Structure 1
Amino acid sequence: MKVLLKSKIFLILSIISCFFLFGCKANVYSDLKNGDLLFVTAKESGLSGAINNVTQKQKNVSFDHVGILEKNKEGIFVLHAAPKGGSQKQNLLDFLKDQANDGQRVVIYRLKPEYQKTIPQAIQKAETMLGKPYNFNYILDENSYYCSDYIERAFRQDHIFKLEPMTFVDPKTGKTNEFWEEFYHNKNLKVPEGELGCNPNGLAASDKLNRIKEL
Structure 2
Amino acid sequence: MKSAILKKLKPFAHFILTTLLVNCSSSPLQIQTGDIVFRSVTNAELSEAINEVTQTAKKSNYTHIGVCEVLNNMVYVYHSDSDTGVVKETIEEFYTSEKNDYSVDLFRIKNIDNNQLQQALKKAKELVGKPYNFTYILEDEGYYCSEYIYEVFKNDSVFTLEPMTFKNPKTKTFHEGWVNHYNNLGIPIPEDKLGCNPNGMANSNRLQFIATIN
Q: TM-score, normalised by structure 2?
A: 0.82
Q: 2 CA distance for matches of 1:29 and 1:106? A: 16
Change in 2 beyond 3 A, CA 1:179/1:202: same
SS across alignment from 2:112: helix
Describe the SS at the equivalent of 2:94.
Answer: helix
* Counterpart selection for 1:161 from 135, 151, 159: 159
Partner deviation per Cα, 1:139-185 (whole Å, 9 max, x = no partner): 11463111000000000112211111101111100111122122212
Partner of 1:204: 202
Match of residue 183, structure 1, among 160, 181, 184: 181
| Correspondence for 1:28 | 21
TM-fit CA distance, 1:37: 0.6
Corresponding residue number in structure 1 for 2:26? none
Percent identity, please: 38
Pairing 1:47-66 to 2, within 5 Å after superposition: 47-58=46-57, 60-66=59-65
Q: Which residue of 1 aligns with 2:112?
A: 115
Q: Tell me what 1:152 maps to.
A: 150
Bigger drift between 137-146 and 64-73 goes to: 137-146
Matches within 5 A, 1:97-112: 97-98=96-97, 101-112=99-110
Instruction: Give the length in aligned residue pairs.
Output: 194
The answer to whether the Cα contact below 8 Å between 1:135 and 1:141 also exists between their aligned partners in 2 is: no
Bigger Rg, which one: 1
- Contact residue 95 and residue 102 of structure 2 kept, 8 A: no
Q: What CA distance in whole angstroms lies between the structure 2 residues aligned with 1:40 and 1:155?
A: 19
1:118-137 pair list within 5 angstroms: 118-137=116-135
Aligned CA distance change for structure 1 residues 208 and 183 (closer, same or farther; 3 Å): same
Task: Tell me the alpha carbon deviations over residues 33-65 of structure 1, each in whole angstroms, 9 at most, x when there is no partner.
Answer: 111111001135511110001101155531000
Unpaired runs of 5+ in structure 1? 1-21
Runs of 4+ with >3 A deviation: 22-25
Q: 1:23 Cα shift?
A: 6.4
1:27 partner SS: helix
Please identify which structure carries the higher helix content: 1
Q: State the AA in 1 paired with 2:189.
A: V
Q: Are the aligned partners of 1:115 and 1:208 in contact in 2 as well (CA < 8 Å)?
A: no
Q: Unaligned regions of 5+ residues in structure 2, if any?
A: 1-14, 24-29
Instruction: Report the TM-score, using the length of structure 1 for normalisation.
Output: 0.82
Q: Secondary structure at the match of 1:28?
A: helix
SS at match of 1:103: coil
Deviation string 1:97-140 (CA, Å, 9 cap, x unpaired) is 23x8413211101111x124431111111111111011112111
**Secondary structure of the structure 2 residue equivalent to 1:175:** coil
CA distance in 2, matches of 1:93, 1:169: 33
